[in-house]
Amino acid sequence: MAFAPVFSKTAKWLAPGTLAVLACVAVPAAAESQARRADLSPVREAMESGKVMRLGEIIQLARQTPPYDEMRFLGVVGLDAVRLRYKLKFMDGDQVVYVYVDARTGRVLGSSR
């Protein structure tokens, strides 16, 4: 017999090799996720030791800094773990403005449209 029945709600049977293929797809995804966590571990350590400000404080400082205090805050785009700076997204009328903030000091470094 070439196939062993594996019953589920969606399929009546799967080839035994199918589960091995699915496992091969899941393992690289898990490794990639673990690699991303490892990339952020220095940032996490810096935050826990007080070298990097908390994200909530960063957002609050940026939202209080002119001219961004009159813009609508849309969210956090990301963190540059090498330069330790956040990229925040604001809306100025009908233009999107990206604001770069030093994660250690909370100082606005610049912006781009």
Distance of CA 88 to the CA centre of its chain: 12
What is the model's pLDDT at position 88? 96
The residue ranges of the chain whose pLDDT is under 50 are 1-14, 19, 22
Whole-number Å distance between alpha carbons of 35 and 68: 34
Residue 65 sits in the same domain as residue 98: yes
72 Cβ contact list (under 8 Å, min separation 6): 90, 91
| pLDDT of amino acid 108 | 96
Do 44 and 29 share a domain, yes or no? yes
Q: What is the pLDDT of residue 20?
A: 53
Number of domains in the chain: 2
Q: In angstroms, how far is the first alpha carbon of the chain from the final one? A: 63
Residue finishing a domain among 5, 36, 51: 51
pLDDT for position 10: 47
Q: Range of 103's domain?
A: 55-112
Say whether both 30 and 60 belong to one domain.
no
pLDDT attached to residue 11: 47
Residue 2 belongs to a domain: no
How far apart (Å, rounded) are the C-alpha atoms in residues 82 and 39?
Answer: 9
pLDDT for the residue 7: 45
Decide: 93 and 76 in contact? Cβ < 8 Å. Answer: no
